[in-house]
Chains A and B, each alone.
Chain A
Amino acid sequence: MIASLLGFLSLFVLVTLRIPIGFAMIIVGAGGFGILRGWSASLTLAGNASFDTVLSFTLSVIPLFVLMGNLLTLSGVSQSLFTTAHRALYRLKGGLAMATIVACGGFSAVCGSSLATAATMSKVAMPSMRKVGYADDLATGSIAAGGTLGILIPPSVILIVYGLITEVNIGHLFLAGILPGLVGVGFYLAAVAVVVRLRPGSAPDDDGDFETSRSDLWGVIAVLALFSTIMIGIYGGFFTPSEAAAVGAGFAFCIAYFCGVLTIEKILEVGLSTALTTAMIFLLVIGAEIFSNFISFAGLPDEILTWVTELDASPYVVMLVIALIYVILGTVLESLSMILLTVPIFFPVVLSLDFGTGVLSDPDMVAIWFGIVVVVVTEISLISPPIGLNVFVLRTVLPDVSISTIFRGVLPFWMADLLRLLLLLSVPQITLFFLL
Chain B
Amino acid sequence: MSEQVSVGHRLRDWNGVIGAAIERGLRWTATAVLLAMVTLSCCDIVARYVLNSPIRGAFELTEVFLAILVFVSLPLAVRHDSHIRIDFGRALWGGKIDPLVVGVADLISAAVLTGLGYQLWEHAQKLQKYGQVTNSLEIPLSAVAYAAACLCGLSAVFAFGRLLSKGAHKPL
Using a CB–CB cutoff of 8 Å, the interface residues on chain A facing chain B are 15-23, 26-27, 43-44, 46-48, 50-51, 54-57, 59-60, 63-64, 67, 238-239, 242-243, 246-247, 249-250, 253, 267-268, 270-272, 274-280, 282-284, 332, 334, 336-337, 386-387
Contacts and interface: CB of A to CB of B under 8 A. Distances in A.
Contact of A276 (B31, B60, B73, B148): B73
A55 B64 contact: yes
B154 interface: no
Contacts of A64: 34, 37-38, 41
A90 B119 CA distance: 59
B41 A20 contact: no
| 3 closest Cβ pairs, A-B complex | A271-B31, A47-B119, A246-B41
B56 interface: no
Interface string B128-162: 00000000000001001100100000000000000
Interface string B46-87: 000100000000011011111101111110110010111111
Contact of B123 (A47, A275, A278, A332): A47
Contact of A272 (B45, B70, B76, B104): B76
Given A51-B123, A56-B66, A18 B101 contact: yes
A277 B34 CA distance: 13
Contacts of A271: 27-28, 30-31, 34-35
B102 interface: yes
A283 B42 CA distance: 27
B8 interface: no
B116 interface: yes
A284 B38 contact: no
A60 B115 contact: no
B88 to A, nearest CB: 7
Contacts of A279: 70, 73-74, 76-77, 82-83
Given A19-B85, A51-B67, A332-B88, A267 B31 contact: yes
A264 B26 CA distance: 15
Given A276-B76, A332-B86, 9 more contacts: A43-B115, A51-B120, A56-B63, A60-B62, A243-B44, A247-B42, A247-B45, A271-B30, A282-B73
B77 A280 contact: yes
A332 B120 CA distance: 33
B102 to A, nearest CB: 5
Given A60-B62, A250-B38, A19 B88 contact: no
Contact of A275 (B77, B84, B98, B141): B77
7 contacts: A21-B84, A249-B34, A250-B39, A267-B31, A276-B73, A279-B82, A386-B88
With most chain A CB atoms within 10 A of its CB, the pick from B41, B59, B67 is: B41
Given A27-B108, A55-B66, A271-B30, A337 B120 contact: no
Contacts of A47: 116, 119-120, 122-123
Contacts of B104: 17
A23 B73 contact: no
A334 B115 CA distance: 25
Nearest to B112: A23
Contacts of B45: 238-239, 243, 247
A327 to B, nearest CB: 18
Interface residues of B, number: 62
B85 A18 contact: yes
A43 B119 CA distance: 7
Interface in B21-37: 26-28, 30-31, 34-35, 37
A247 B38 CA distance: 7
B89 interface: yes
B27 A387 contact: no
Contacts of B165: none
B42 A46 contact: no
Contact of B84 (A22, A44, A272): A22
Nearest to B152: A50
Given A51-B148, A56-B66, A60-B37, A280 B86 contact: no
Contact of A18 (B59, B67, B76, B105): B105
Given A26-B112, A275-B30, A279-B76, A247 B119 contact: no
B109 interface: yes
Contacts of B65: 60
A29 to B, nearest CB: 11
Contacts of B62: 57, 60, 242
Contacts of A63: 34, 37, 66, 69
A55 B141 contact: yes
Contacts of B41: 64, 242-243, 246-247
Given A23-B108, A279-B74, A283-B74, A15 B42 contact: no
Nearest to B123: A47
A44 B37 CA distance: 30
Given A271-B27, A280-B83, A17 B89 contact: yes
Contacts of B122: 44, 47
B103 to A, nearest CB: 9
Contacts of A60: 37, 62-63, 65-66
Contact of B31 (A15, A250, A268, A283): A268
Contacts of A253: 38
A283 B83 contact: yes
A23 B69 contact: no
Contacts of B63: 55-57, 60
A43 B126 CA distance: 14
